[in-house]
Structure 1
């Protein structure tokens, strides 16, 4: 039986043949199975140097010396070397997770998390010597929150509407908005050239008046009339633009109804959500949608979820630890939720942030940097290790931009291409998404 969803996917109801005109060549091949990428945006610039701290005496003393004024704000013992959660896998650097990130230490040590050590936007491979000599090509608008978070998602400064994760979906030719989902405030990571996707409000999904209801205003007749109106039933347009608007509206309505079903069933989200943890509650929604993927009929999905508050110029000792604890708990609970439904190998979660922060603290916080750590979690991840070099926790080395802020050694193109390759995007598709990736060594970033 052909469903309304099947019809909407395969027919443009007399409109222009968008599929044959718009899709890249890589989209013509279908990759079997289901996979999902879940991006967590850490809005404000996560201080990587306060996530993993040296746990050998000389290195720890140097690290704490750079941050002496700021560390006075922490509770006694909160950042002592004895409080760190050690990295126990073979070959790991002499670093430990801070106390608030014990759950992330668990993920790392069990092999479910890899850490990309110094990643960020680059125009080309760059060193401190090139920056000092004025010969380096630098990304635009470094240190700007809006622009750097936009570059991380879209490869362009603030204003670009579509992200590289969403454009991965384009390579499979899928117009379905259910393939591109944002939770919370709109962000460009998941929308793409072919579909803006769907943005969910935290904890709920609101349908248009009458949709999914048996009665409105006491009438059993009105819901069907509202649906006829929303869907433009018995209406067609000779105008191509208006016909495509109607087609997109119908796809969005179908997607919204499917999502409401998934969120109502709560197949997996109940095990993910944690009291008082907004991120885990957002990821619980993601978990329910993933668990419902066979009913929605999508084989690839990207999700974008945001956390706020990481701009810790001041009062870092008060502001950052609760965020670290929230992130750590949510990552572990989400991964455990995927394990519970047998989908841990099909889902990869990763973090991105505006930029890292300076190793050298100010009076009670840290300032804008450039490169930083990204955390990648999933059953398919080759975890319990760092991807890329771990620069020294010092100043004056070859990747020190200034005051210990790092010049990235891994580009977004390398990072994103590793995720996209796992996702099933071939090299031609990755070239479509990341036109400048030929400037970087794609074999240097092996996450899986």
Structure 2
């Protein structure tokens, strides 16, 4: 794990130690090479190894180094886009298949945690999507209606119920999704890695894939310390993709997201702030997220990078937001901060790619990596093992298409978030709902 305290912050401090995953130092032949030790890659490796496949996971950094070890820890159901838009984009059959898969994906996460005794502070008590004003409430009412039409256990809370559930009086209502919950995200990634190792997979950290070439009927993946020959390759690198698949990086724009955590709150405060231990976020375009960890730390997050001028701007935003949302917390100190990158696609939908013969992967999670990544890893395992065909996938096979004006988008995300947080400081009434 990097020694930069702003890479993984609180999660690196509180997660169980990473499992032993030494760099590749020899040549190997396997059935499946998995590139990337995040949720998708580790889930695929675990499911394949349990089915008897020989699997090697190649990770350029450490287990959970990318978004899997840096995110808020919200185990959400579905996607950012509203449910009815998914069949409209993918067609009725495939769209409803994707919604069904991702609607039950949090349950898959919590079942894996229970099955493999993963110590990751799991709370399957739901999430709260909090409405900012009448417009936000109308949006959530629409989402609630669309999910309820599909039998999902979601319900709209009014302002008083939301205040009791969050401890904040700033919101017009909230959508409670009982399918969802929270975890310690880096701990979950490390737990998946331990489970995959126990099932017989090999995991090699510090082993970036430098090149891929056909070697007879197999693929040969070259790392600094050795080579792996494999019948199949699962590409599971998403927002942290590097060579040799630059086309994946080209189709996503990086959205920076940061978290800042307080010291543990007193028992009295824990009884008033998120007493049901749900994770929460709001409907603002530059959103605010908040949740508690197992020790009672309040973790506040928003769009932005903790670097350059952004570091001071976003720290000041966190202090103002804490005071505005939870004045009862007083001047509780902050003790950790970190940030990472989210992979955004042009339409906020994920992608499935067949990059070459027997080279497959999902990417573009748009800030919903935990449950979809876990579920998609299982889908990839089924595909590679021959248990399903591409026709049964929840997404169509598409070629990577570069996102338009990617550099401009990325600059706008980072600079725009600073501008919004600075404007909130200048006009305090706009700082929170």
Q: Does the pair score TM above 0.5? A: no
Where relative contact order (Cα < 8 A, 6+ residues apart) is larger, the structure is 1
Question: Under TM normalisation by the shorter chain, which class is it?
Answer: under 0.3
Q: Normalising by the residue count of structure 2, what TM-score does the alignment of the two structures yield? A: 0.26
Q: Which has the higher strand share?
A: 2
Q: Normalising by the residue count of structure 1, what TM-score does the alignment of the two structures yield? A: 0.25
